[in-house]
Homo-oligomer: A and B are copies of this chain.
Amino acid sequence: MNSKSVRIKDIAQLAGVSVGTVDRVLHNRGRVSDDALKKVLSVLDQIDYKPNLIARTLGANKSYRLAALMPDPEQDPYWASSKSGISQAEAEWLRYGVKVEAHFFNLYDKNSFRQVAEIVIESQPDGILVAPIFYHEALPVFARFKEEQIPYVLFNTNIPEVSPLSFIGQDLYQSGRLGAELMHLAQRSETSALAVIHINEDLENSVHLIEKERGFREYFESRGLSYKIITLNLNDPSERMMEKQLKELLDTEDLKGIFVSTSKGTYLIASFLDKNQRTDVKIVGYDMLQENIRYMKKGIVDFLINQNPKRQAFLGIHHLVGSLILKKSAPEKDLLPLEIISHENLDSYLNSHTH
């Protein structure tokens, strides 16, 4: 077949050593003389060796255990999508002996993050995929991972300081700018008031939401647009309290648009506006959650920015496997495109397999 593809055997021949020696060099197992090492490395330097995955998995009876550390999918459908991405990746790599165990922490309890992380460490996986949504709590956890020498990949939220193998996510500042552009398009007058609504316990600790708002505001500034922009942080989980704050906002301002910074928040706001029959207020929100889709089809939600949680998690496992097993270097950052979902392309996203 491909007479071109280089095998270990070929490298051995070129370097004038045995396949065993080449193998030891390739996997840095040591027990190789400086002389042999040099010879093999010089050959490897000149040719592009790509191991035959097929052959490798056939022979190796080895299995890899990966762990995922993420919020409980039952608390928020956004994370259920991430979960399904992990399952999908696991299915794909199963025949290569890869297993992934998912561990969930409480979305509303920062301490549980540390606790579950400790459980993950105890299970001694070969690699970890993490969604570090709590900035402060994340730092000591990653220190522990390093201590235990377990490689990790981040998704959803980046914390560059902990130098992960890779980060998979989106440019959140730009995401905010895009939200602004879409909001601007949906408006028919430039004098109305707009709101940025976060639904979050601890805004200062949530870099991702802050970045989105910054982008949203700067878009209008950079274009010299004079909308009045109000920020509202709804941190009280009780529905009654939330409704009260929203009613207040609608009463005091001539509000024509709401940019919601989270996916779950999107349908909460949509539900409120729907009940109060305020279809004049445009909504730009996040992600194709079932409820968000419903409100978009109903005409309540105008635009969704797809963060592609499923794909993020899928790629996370993918990079982890690639790096650990295939010894491929994962990209430092894998930024997914900011996908715009509107009424007319929604179905095309829902029907596509590959996404």
Contacts and interface: CB of A to CB of B under 8 A. Distances in A.
Interface residues of A, number: 52
Contacts of A83: none
Interface string A1-45: 110110000000000000000000000000000000000000000
Interface string A44-86: 0000001011110110011100000000000000000000000
B170 A348 contact: yes
B334 A340 contact: no
Nearest to A3: B61
A125 B344 CA distance: 40
Contacts of A62: 1
Interface string A75-116: 000000000000000000011110000000000000000000
A63 B315 CA distance: 29
A293 to B, nearest CB: 14
Contact of A95 (B50, B57, B97, B348): B50
Contacts of A219: 344
Interface in A211-227: 219
Interface string A332-346: 001111111011110
A96 B5 CA distance: 9
A352 interface: yes
Interface string A146-170: 0000000000000000000000001
A354 interface: yes
Contacts of A180: 344
A353 interface: yes
A95 B1 CA distance: 7
Contacts of A50: 95
Interface of A: 1-2, 4-5, 50, 52-55, 57-58, 61-63, 94-97, 170-171, 174, 177-178, 180-182, 185-186, 188, 219, 311, 315, 331, 334-340, 342-345, 347-349, 351-355
Given A54-B96, A182-B342, A331-B353, 8 more contacts: A1-B94, A2-B97, A53-B95, A54-B54, A178-B345, A336-B352, A338-B344, A339-B345
6 contacts: A2-B95, A54-B54, A170-B348, A171-B351, A178-B348, A336-B355
